[in-house]
A and B are shown apart, each in its own frame.
Chain A
Amino acid sequence: MINWSPEQPIVSIHNVHKSFGPLEVLKGVSMDIMKGEVICIIGPSGSGKSTLIRCINALNDIQGGSITLEGQEVHDEKLDKLELRKKVGMVFQQYNLFPHKTVLENVMMAPIKVLKESKVEAQKRALELIKKVRLDGKENSYPGELSGGQQQRVAIARSLAMRPDVMLFDEVTAALDPETVKEVLITIQDLAAEGMTCILVTHEMAFAREVADHIYFTDRGVIVEHGSPKEFFDNASDPRTKEFLSQVL
């Protein structure tokens, strides 16, 4: 049995190496995330942010190091990846909703098929979640009939329906119009306030500053610097961080 208690990191990433063929994308990345924390990962494009969070729910494999979730090694050959993914929700930049299903069906599908919930039970919870992401009234719309911001909130509700312990967000506002970015950020902020463990890749600096407990700055496959938002934004020491911040702030 795995001995894990909530005082230990819920996600522990230790010296992770990841290559695509000859290209080494992660060169020894480590971070510990405690239950209920909100972590923001920022860094230039191509620095391996998406790759890192995709390793957490085993969408990518790793070549070295370890990642544990609640004490369980994620990249253990014997681990049932489907069991792991029940505990980790993921929201993508491009929403990736099921276009042939209504909002309600999108949210209900995984609980029914994966958790074997009854239809009644799944629907009740789906309606609550749709309300929570402020989309009540859109239950029977198809994704193609919604704005980007609305679709992204459906994607968040769809992930939450699996009752995950950790949520991963990969630049979830990057494809949105400026007006709709805010509604998605508010939804994430609500989640964080309820104590959901969130790992976000984001370029929304003001949001990171306000919501994050901890910020990691990555560049070319390594973590250059990390700290609280205050330390990070006001006292960045590494020249690469300074340069990046001067460009985005």
Chain B
Amino acid sequence: MSSFEEFFIQLAVDFPRWNFIWLYDDLQADRILSGLWVTVKLSLACVSLSVVIGVVGAMLQGSNSSRVRALVQGYIQFFRNTPPLVQLLFFYFALGQFTPTEVGPDGWTEQPLITNVGWAIIALSLFAGAFNVEIFRAGIEAIPYSTREAAESLGMSQRQTFFYVTLPLSLRVSIPALNNNLVNLVKTTTQAYAIAVPELLYESVSVWNDYPSAQNPTMLLLFLAYLTLVGILVFCMNSWEKSMRIPGYGH
């Protein structure tokens, strides 16, 4: 046993509320790490999917069909104005009942086709996606109509104009607001705890339920982990923003 581990074992003896158990107990360390890994994967999936939803939704909001626009508007209102936790529970418990099941790898048990992790990704992406639609739309509205008109007068279709002109320009306007929303999304992944997704908060709570003496250190770890995750996200977003700067335009 290393002196590092011995130090924390002794610390737990001297100060019973400060048991950094996952620093010397491999089993607990694995639980925390696997929780962290699930959180990272969950965040990546939700961030990507919610951005795609945002782009597609913003494009559909410019549709010529008023029915499509109304549908997008309804989606935004629903997901923006109801609590994400309730959405998660609704998707998992209400919709989860109606999804087909398949026989699991053991060949015995029936498993739902969409797992709780799947539902968490769907619900959280739809939740954050609703905000992203609005964010991208605001960016698109900041682009002068005349720029779009120039593209169309060159024979570009509406879709080409959107993807090659309007969207790339509007992204530059949207990034700060998008940044905020994605930071919120990463933090909101903790609510998947409610449907037993084994992410970081879930694993942390399991650890301190088994070892109440580890509660304080584990909470500290939680804060540190999210500060780091969000820090990485913000760093990536800022680098992206910088890489998109155009000489002589904006800023």
Point out which of A59, A113, A146 has the most chain B C-beta atoms below 10 A from its C-beta: A113
Q: Digitize B233-251: 1 where CB-to-A-CB distance is under 8 Å, 0 elsewhere.
A: 0000000000010111100
Whole-angstrom CA separation of A155 from B244 in the bound complex = 23
A99 CB contact (under 8 Å) in B149, B153, B156, B249:
B249
Query: Is B147 touching A98 in the complex (CB atoms < 8 A)?
Result: yes
Q: Give A82 to B164 CA distance when docked, in angstroms.
A: 16
- Does A142 touch B at the CB level, under 8 Å? yes
B246 touches A109 (CB 8 A): no
Nearest opposing residue in chain A for B153, CB measure: A90
B150, B152, B155, B248: most-surrounded residue (chain A CB, <10 A): B155
Number of interface residues of A (CB under 8 A): 31
B9 within 8 A of A: no
Question: Is B65 in the interface zone, CB < 8 Å from A?
Answer: no
> A82-B156, A98-B169, A114-B155 provided; 20 other pairs, C-beta below 8 A?
A90-B150, A92-B149, A96-B146, A96-B149, A98-B150, A99-B249, A100-B169, A100-B172, A100-B244, A100-B246, A110-B151, A110-B155, A113-B160, A114-B154, A114-B156, A142-B248, A143-B248, A144-B248, A158-B154, A162-B155
Determine whether the beta carbon of B146 is less than 8 Å from that of A145. Answer: no
Q: How far is the CA of A97 from the CA of B149 in the complex (A)?
A: 11
Residues of B within 8 A of A99 (CB): 147, 169, 246, 248-249
Contacts of B248 in A (CB 8 A): 99, 142-146
Task: Note all chain A residues with C-beta closer than 8 A to B117.
Answer: none
Q: Does B82 contact A (CB under 8 A)?
A: no
Q: Is the interface of B mostly helix, strand, loop or mixed?
A: helix
Does A94 lie at the interface of the complex (its beta carbon under 8 Å from any beta carbon of B)?
A: yes
| B168 CB contacts on chain A under 8 angstroms | 100
8 contacts across the A-B interface (CB closer than 8 A): A82-B155, A92-B150, A99-B249, A109-B154, A113-B156, A114-B156, A145-B248, A155-B150
- Tell me whether B165 is interfacial, beta carbon within 8 Å: yes
Other-chain contact of B151, A88, A98, A142, A143 (Cβ < 8 Å): A98
A175 to B71, CA, bound (A): 42
Complex interface: chain A residues within 8 A of B3 (CB): none
Residues on A lying within 8 angstroms of B by beta carbon are 57, 59, 82-83, 85-86, 88-90, 92, 94, 96-100, 109-110, 113-115, 141-146, 155, 158-159, 162
User: Which of B157, B169, B246 contacts A142, CB < 8 Å?
Assistant: B246
Which A residues touch B146, using CB under 8 A? 92, 94, 96
Residues of B within 8 A of A114 (CB): 154-156, 160
Which of these, B151, B160, B164, B247, contacts A144 with CB under 8 Å? B247
- Please state if B154 and A145 are interface contacts (CB–CB under 8 Å): no
The complex places the Cα of A141 from the Cα of B246 at a distance, in Å, of 10
Which residues in A have their C-beta under 8 angstroms from that of B157? 82
**Please, how many angstroms separate the alpha-carbon atoms of A249 and B149 in the complex?**
33
Give Cα A41 to B224, complex, Å: 69
A-chain residues with CB within 8 Å of residue B249 when the two chains form the complex: 99-100, 142-144
